[in-house]
């Protein structure tokens, strides 16, 4: 279940900013995909201690491979997530699996797991639009 089109509703709060080039390990020369700063509301579902938990967070940047996600709780590195979000300038809501690769307080580095090619293309297209706007 890599991608599911769920609705056609407008974005809540999308704010393109500048390009970011940090890697999950922190070295700026090793990032696989260019990140763009953007505010995207994200619905998260995670299994914690045998219980399914759903809550809302906010992505502060995105690339074709993942996103930086701010949550009101700390999730452990390695936690598997289901992410639901709208990509800016698109009306299709996507559902994609992710894994927490790193964390600094309430900010989590999330890698997308097996994202559909269409999702990757839409994210790349949106990042190119952000570059033109910045």
pTM for this predicted structure = 0.73
Each of the 134 residues of the chain gets a pLDDT tens digit; together they read: 444 433 333 333 444 443 333 334 444 446 677 788 889 999 999 988 889 999 999 999 988 889 999 999 999 999 999 999 998 777 888 899 999 999 999 999 999 998 888 888 888 888 888 888 87
CATH numbers and ranges of domains, the chain = 19-133 (2.40.10.220)
Beta-bridged to residue 68, according to DSSP, are 61, 109
Separation CA 92–CA 75 (nearest Å)? 27
Q: Which two tokens stand for residue 21?
A: 């080039």
């Amino acid at each position: 279940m890599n991608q599911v089109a769920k609705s056609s509703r407008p974005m809540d709060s999308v704010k393109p900013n500048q390009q970011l080039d940090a890697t999950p390990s922190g070295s700026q020369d090793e990032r696989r995909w260019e990140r763009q700063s953007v505010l995207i509301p994200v619905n998260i579902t995670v299994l914690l201690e045998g219980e399914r938990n759903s809550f809302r967070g906010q992505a502060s940047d995105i690339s074709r491979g993942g996103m930086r996600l701010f949550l009101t709780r700390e999730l452990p590195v390695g936690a598997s997530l289901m992410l639901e979000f709208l990509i800016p300038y698109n009306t299709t809501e996507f559902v994609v699996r992710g894994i927490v690769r790193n964390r600094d307080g309430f900010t989590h580095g999330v890698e997308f797991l097996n994202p559909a090619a269409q999702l990757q293309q839409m994210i790349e297209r949106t990042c190119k639009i952000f570059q033109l706007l910045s």
